[in-house]
Amino acid sequence: MKREKVKHMSVKGGASLFALRIFVTCLAAAAWWECLFSVFPGMVVSRSWLYGAGLVLAVIIGGAVSCPRRKVAVPAVILAAALLCWRFFYVIQGAAAHLVNAYLAVHQERGFEVRFWEEGSLSAGTLAVGTAVLVCVPLLTILLLVIRWGRGKLVAVLILLLPVLAAILEGAFPSAWATWMLIVTGGCYLTAAGAGGRDMAGPAGAAWAGTAIAAVTLLVLGGVSVLAGRAADVIRLEEDGFYSQTRQAIQTGVVDNLNAVRLRMEGQDEEADDRPEEEEQLPREREEDRAEVAAKEAPSASDEQSETPGDSGAGTLPWDTEADGMTDLASVARFSPDGTAAVDVRLEEAPYGTVYYPLRWGGAYTGQSWEETSGEDGRDSLFLSWPEGLDRLEELCASWPSDTVEEAEKQIDRELTQKAVYDTEPGRTPTGEDFAEYFVFESERGFCVHFATAAVLMYRMMGYPARYVEGYAVPASAFSRQADGTYLAVADGTMGHAWCETFEDGEWTVREHTPASDGSASPGSETQTASDSALRHGQAGDQEKAGPGAMRIAGRAALLLAIVGCVIGAFFLQAAVRRKRRLRVLGGRNRTKAVEAIYGTIYDRSRTMGMKESSPLREETCRRMADMWDSIKEQEMRWLYQLVLESMFNEKRPSAREYRKAMDIYRKTGAEMYSRLRGWQRWKYKYIWCL
C-alpha cells in the first residue's frame, strides 16, 4: 500500500515538474524574442503564431527528453524535424532571409553597406511557424536539456543574453521592459533548473514555490532599483547632506592638493596663485566626465559674458552657423563637441534635471535654415508656419490623433524613435532636399539639430505653436554648491544642444525628442517648463509638486527598500548556496561520499521530524530512523546502513546500481517530509534547514 502511494506521488510530482519546466522555458523564450523585437523592428512576425508554435514545440521536445523511452523519442523528434525542414525548405529559407534582413537593416543605419537577402512571399502565420522551427527548436532544445539535466546553466545564460549582445554590437540596447522581462523570466528559469536534474528532482511543490519566490524577489528588486535610481539625484543634491559634505571634503582635502602638486611639477605655481577666487570655486570632477573637464579648463566667465538667455554673443555651438548666429542647416554634417565659449550658469536652488540654457530661437523655417526671432508671444502665426512642399511630412502628421499637446508629443516621440537613430556624423543634406524631410524619410540619421527641427515642424502641422531653440543642455551633475548657497555650472561647447519648445497656457515648454546617446550633448529626458525669466531651468512635474522635502523622504524610503531587498536576496542566496553544495556532494562522481551524505541527510531529516539525538552509526539509530518514515521499509534502511559501514570501514566503493537505490531512498524521505510539513515549517525546510 505504501509503495502504491509513493508511486502515485512520484507520478504526480513528475507531471508537475514537467509543467513547471515547460512554463519557465516558454516564458524565457518569449522574453528572448521580445528583446530582439525591441531592437530590430524589421522583424515583423506574428507574435501569437510564433508563441503558440513555440509552446507546441516545447511540449514535444520536453516530452521527448523527459519520457522513459527518450533514447527512441529524441531521435524520432530529430528525424521528424529534419523531414519537415526538407519538405518545407522554402518556408525555412524565407524565415531565415527575413531575420537576416531585419538585422542588416539596423546594421545599415550605422553607415555600413550591406547586401540584403531575397525574401519569398509568405503569409504571417507561415512566416511565424517557419521562424519558430528555425530558431525555437534549437533554442528550446538547449534550454530544456539544461533544465532537465541540471547542468550547463552557464550555456543557458549565454544563450538568453544573445539578443542583448547582438543589440550592443549594433550600438543599441533592448527596451527597459523587455530587459526586465528577460531578467525576471531568466531568474525563474535558473531557479527551476537549480531545483535538481535527472537524479535529484526535489518535491514539485518546492520547485514551484522557489520559482514563484524568485519571480517576486526579482520584481521587488527591480522596482526598488528603479525607485532608488530616480531618487539618487535628490539624495545626491541634498543641501548639507552626506554626499555634499563628502564631496566637499574630497574636493578640498584630496583633489585640490593633488592639483597643486601637479602644478608645482609643471612649474605653474605662479599661474595658479593668480587665479581669482571665483575660478577656484568651480567644480572639479572626474576626468572621464568630458563636459565638466572642459568647464574646468575654460576661463572663468567675466562680467562681459551675459547670464541672460537670448544673448547671441554668450556662446557658440559645435556646428556651423550663419552670420546672424542661427545654424546653417545646409552645412550641418557632423557634431563636434568642444570646450570653448564657456558661460557661467548660476541657480538659486539645486536642479533636479537637465537645465536648458537658450542662446537663440528660430521662428521661420526655410527648408535649409532657421531665421532667428526675438518674439516671445506664442500666439504669433509665425510659430504655426512651414514652407510649401512638405507633403510627406504633412501627410504623416495628418494621420495622428492630437487632442492634446501631450498626445502629440507621444506621437512625435514614437515616430522619431522608430524612424531615426542618433548619429554624430549623418552627413550633409543634398542640395535641393528639405532638411527635415530628408532626415525623417531618407537618411534617418541625425543629432539634436535634426530631431529638434523635425519635431518643431510636426508640432506646427498638428496645430500647436512651436519654435526651434539652440543653446546649452547642462546636466544636474555639472552644478556644485557655492559658498553663497547658489549652484554654479560652466556651460561650454560640449553641452551644445538644440531642442523644441511649444507654447501653451501663456508659457513655453521644452519638448525633448533627441534620444539619449553618449555622443550627445546631454539632452534631457524630462519635459521642462521654460519661463521668460532670466534663466529657464526645468524640474520634473512631479518633483515640482512634491517639493524637496517629499523627494528626500521618497529617496530615503527607496534606500530603505533597497536595503531590505538586499537582505531578502542574501537570505535566499545563502539557502541556494547551501542546497547547491549538498546536491553537488550527492550527485558527485565520488559515490562513497555521496552515499555517506545521503545517510547523513536522512539522519538530519529524522532529527528534524522528532527523533531523539544519538550516534548516527549505531544500529539502534538505524532502527529508529526506519520507524520515522512510512515511505521506506526497515529492510531498506538497514541495507543503506550496511552500505555506509562498508564504504567507510571496508573502503568499498558503491556500484552505480547501489547509488541509484540509495538516491531513491533519499527522494522518498524528502517527499514524505515535505508532505508532512505545513505553512512556516515548509519555509524552514526550504530556506533554513535546506534539507
Three-state SS at 100: helix
Please report the pLDDT score of residue 243 as a whole number.
Answer: 58
Please report the pLDDT score of residue 32 as a whole number.
Answer: 92
- Using CA atoms, how far apart are residues 605 and 201, in angstroms rounded to an integer? 17
Please report the pLDDT score of residue 421 as a whole number.
Answer: 86
List the one residue out of 460, 407, 409, 454 whose CA is nearest residue 429. 454
DSSP state of 519: T
Degrees, nearest 5: CA angle 130-132-137: 115
Three-state SS at 503: strand
Give buried/exposed letters for 287-321 (b at 16+ CB in 10 A, else e).
eebebbbbbbebebbeeebbeebbeeebbbbbbeb
- The answer to whether 65 and 114 are in contact (CB under 8 A) is no
Q: How many CB atoms lie within 10 A of CB 35?
A: 24
Beta strands in 169-222 (DSSP E): none
Please report the pLDDT score of residue 218 as a whole number.
Answer: 84
**What would you report as the CA-atom Rg of the chain, rounded to the nearest whole angstrom?**
33
The three cell numbers of residue 282 are 568651480
In sequence order, which ranges of 276-431 are alpha helices (DSSP H)? Answer: 277-280, 290-297, 391-398, 405-419
173-176: long-range contacts, CB 8 A cutoff, minimum separation 24 = 173/39, 174/34, 174/35, 174/36, 174/38, 174/39, 175/38
List the one residue out of 580, 604, 573, 574 whose CA is nearest residue 691. 604
DSSP state of 526: S
List the one residue out of 50, 99, 56 whose CA is nearest residue 80. 56
- Using CA atoms, how far apart are residues 556 and 476, in angstroms rounded to an integer? 20
Please report the pLDDT score of residue 502 as a whole number.
Answer: 92
The burial class, CB within 10 Å (0-12 / 13-18 / 19+), for 178 is buried
- Using CA atoms, how far apart are residues 642 and 637, in angstroms rounded to an integer? 9
Please, what's the largest Cα pairwise distance for the chain?
102
- The answer to whether 163 and 36 are in contact (CB under 8 A) is yes
CA atoms within 13 A on the CB side of 354: 23
Please report the pLDDT score of residue 29 as a whole number.
Answer: 92
The burial class, CB within 10 Å (0-12 / 13-18 / 19+), for 10 is middle
Q: Are strands 355-365 and 466-474 parallel, antiparallel or unpaired?
A: antiparallel
Please report the pLDDT score of residue 101 as a whole number.
Answer: 84
The three cell numbers of residue 460 are 506646427
- Using CA atoms, how far apart are residues 224 and 232, in angstroms rounded to an integer? 12
Q: Which residue has the cell 546553466?
A: 153
- The answer to whether 307 and 343 are in contact (CB under 8 A) is yes
Please report the pLDDT score of residue 562 as a whole number.
Answer: 64
The burial class, CB within 10 Å (0-12 / 13-18 / 19+), for 513 is buried
- Using CA atoms, how far apart are residues 576 and 67, in angstroms rounded to an integer? 28
Please report the pLDDT score of residue 245 as a whole number.
Answer: 66
- The answer to whether 341 and 482 are in contact (CB under 8 A) is no
Please report the pLDDT score of residue 6 as a whole number.
Answer: 41
Three-state SS at 21: helix
Please report the pLDDT score of residue 170 as a whole number.
Answer: 73
Please report the pLDDT score of residue 366 as a whole number.
Answer: 87
* Regions in the chain scoring below 50 on pLDDT: 1-12, 197-201, 268-313, 323, 517-548, 551
Three-state SS at 690: coil
